[in-house]
Amino acid sequence: MDRQYDSDISELIATRASRHAAPAALRNAVRRATAAPAHPPSRVTAWLGLEWLRLSAAFAVGVLVALLVPATWHAVPDATIANELVDSHVRSLQLAHLSDVVSTDHHTVKPWFAGKLDYSPPVHDLAPQGFPLAGGRLDVLHGRTIAALVYKRRQHVINVFVVPRGADTPPADTRLSRNGFHVQSWSDGSNSFWAVSDLNAEELGQFVTLQQQQGD
Amino acid sequence: MMKSDRFETIVLPHLDAAYNLARWLVHDPHQAEDIVQEACVRAFRFLDQLRGNHARPWLLGIVRNACIDHLRERRAEQFLPDMDEDYVDTGQYGVEAHTPESLLLQKCSTTQVDTAIAALPAAYREVIVLREIEEMSYELIAEVAGVPIGTVMSRLSRARGMLRAALLPLVREN
């Protein structure tokens, strides 16, 4: 296909066209973003049994010293998870990569995850209640690939992160806000669910209640 | 090896290629920078899924898809003009263009070459940049662009013909 008479064009481009090198600022930004994480591991890491032993001591000291409150043991890791999921939520909006599978049909979205995950996230159609399903994608929490379901409320996006629970995992039950985003979590027998959105807390609460009423 | 070390060692060496591709696809340097940074964060998060030594096409594929999404969102341009995929190479550029090989090389400036590449539809810019500037194989380009090798080859052929058609008149004016 590289016909003879194309060789001059090839050489012309190879020798003459501009090659744009990555600016130093970009290289530095990428290095910062991918540097070893400074924050303590969350409970999810513990489920995976990674780095937990190594960092748990530092983590415990950090909790006791830095917070100076007899916080319940679960509250802090939940906050850490919430922080990371808020970041994921924001990135999902920035990346123009909200959904890998775009569909309002839960019969399309649910099977899409089969074969991509070792668990099956429950997917509900809440369009009649004003929370239409918009799609789903794969996301990552502490090195584990998880399902993120995307719902909408008017112009607001709600990400629901579905994290499988281990046998000894306490149920998630968190309501907090970070940087203007609300986070609410709940659990059923198999999974913990984390809903993240800039939607107001009241309507997000309605959404969570509806989700809980659906069952699997 | 720590994940960040692994990223530094096997992915980061391809940052220049990633940025170059993004610059050529979306044109705007700031947009390109943002897209590449986001793509790298994404690549880092999914690093565990990278198998073998395919870091280069893997990263470029992520960057490329983000760029195409960006163009589509902006409705800035059509990735591939309608009908172009049905193009049959009749040699309409090639035959007429059988110029002395050195003429284009002698006369074309960087600005002229850059302008001609920038004017190509995105689907052609992509293969030209990956093949002629990054010197990647057809196989790897096909992996980045997510199309069959045959499509890469026909797009390349078409793109070269379009570049020739754009540049020859400039050369002959002189």
Q: Where are the domains of chain A?
A: 73-214
**Nearest chain A Cα distance for residue B145, angstroms:** 17
Lowest mean pLDDT among A50-64, A93-107, B53-67: A50-64
Q: What is the DSSP letter of B27?
A: -
Please give the C-alpha separations between residue B56 and each of A7, B59, B71, B128, in angstroms, as whole numbers: 25, 5, 22, 17
Q: Mean of the pLDDT values across residues A143-165?
A: 89
User: Which DSSP helix (H) or strand (E) runs through B161?
Assistant: helix B149-173
Which of B14, B24, B38, B129 is the best mutation test for A, with the most CBs of A within 10 A?
A: B38
Give the nearest partner residue to B23 out of A1, A20, A27, using CB atoms.
A20
Give the nearest partner residue to A36 out of B4, B48, B73, using CB atoms.
B4
Q: What is the DSSP letter of A50?
A: S
Chain A residue numbers touching B69 (CB-CB < 8 A): 96-97
Contact A18, B27 (CB under 8 A): no
Both tokens of residue B22? 């993004």
Q: Where are the domains of chain B?
A: 3-74, 84-173
User: Which DSSP helix (H) or strand (E) runs through A135?
Assistant: strand A133-141
CA angle A159, B44, A20 (to 5 degrees): 115
CATH class of B84-173: mainly alpha
Query: Among residues B149, B24, B133, which one has the least CA distance to residue B141?
Result: B149
Neighbours of A127 (CB within 10 A): 14
**Nearest chain B Cα distance for residue A189, angstroms:** 28
Residue A189: pLDDT band (50, 70, 90) is confident
| Dihedral pair phi/psi, residue B98, rounded to 5° | -75, 70
Per-residue pLDDT, A48: 45
Amino acid residing at A102: V
Per-residue pLDDT, A66: 47
CATH architecture of the domain formed by B3-74? Orthogonal Bundle (1.10)
Cβ distance of B19 and A1 shorter than 8 Å:
no
Burial A154-170 (b: 16+ CB within 10 A, else e): eeebbbbbbbbbeeebe
Amino acid residing at A203: E
Q: Mean of the pLDDT values across residues A121-130?
A: 90
Both tokens of residue A131? 């929370």
Query: Is A95 in a helix, a strand, or coil?
Result: coil
- Chain centroid, CA A210 distance in Å: 21
| Dihedral pair phi/psi, residue A38, rounded to 5° | -90, -20
Query: How many angstroms separate the CA atoms of A34 and A84, rounded?
Result: 14
Chain B residue numbers touching A23 (CB-CB < 8 A): 19, 29, 33
Q: Is the pLDDT at A102 greater than 70, yes or no?
A: yes
Query: Is B77 in a helix, a strand, or coil?
Result: coil
Which of B50, B103, B113, B126 is the best mutation test for A, with the most CBs of A within 10 A?
A: B113
Please report the residues numbered 30 through 59 in chain B whose beta carbons come closer than 8 angstroms to any beta carbon of chain A.
32-33, 36-38, 40-42, 44-46, 48-49
Residue-wise pLDDT for B62-102, tens only, equals 999 999 988 888 876 777 776 555 454 444 444 444 555 57
A73-214 in CATH: which number?
A: 3.30.200.100
Amino acid residing at B117: I
End-to-end CA distance of chain A: give it in Å, rounded. Answer: 55
Q: Mean of the pLDDT values across residues A67-90?
A: 62
Q: Is the pLDDT at B25 greater than 80, yes or no?
A: yes
End-to-end CA distance of chain B: give it in Å, rounded. Answer: 58
Query: Among residues A168, A163, A151, which one has the least CA distance to residue A85?
Result: A163
Please give the C-alpha separations between residue B79 and each of B41, B124, B125, B145, B146, in angstroms, as whole numbers: 25, 9, 10, 12, 14
Residue B174: pLDDT band (50, 70, 90) is low
Give the nearest partner residue to B156 out of A1, A14, A21, using CB atoms.
A1
Q: Is the pLDDT at A5 greater than 80, yes or no?
A: no
If you count residue pairs, one on A and one on B, with CB atoms under 8 Å apart, how many are there?
A: 124
Q: How much is the ipTM here? A: 0.86
Residue B127: pLDDT band (50, 70, 90) is very high
To which residue do tokens 């890791």 refer?
A: A77
Contact B124, B162 (CB under 8 A): yes
Q: Is the pLDDT at A133 greater than 60, yes or no?
A: yes
Per-residue pLDDT, A44: 46
Q: Is the pLDDT at A40 greater than 60, yes or no?
A: no
Query: How many angstroms separate the CA atoms of A53 and A68, rounded?
Result: 23
Which of A4, A34, A55, A97 is the best mutation test for B, with the most CBs of B within 10 A?
A: A34
**Interacting residues of A214 by C-beta distance below 8 A, sequence separation 6+:** A122, A124, A126
Helices (H), B10-137: 15-26, 29-45, 55-74, 101-107, 110-118, 122-128
What's the mean per-residue pLDDT of chain B?
Answer: 85
Residue A72: pLDDT band (50, 70, 90) is very low
Contact B130, B17 (CB under 8 A): no
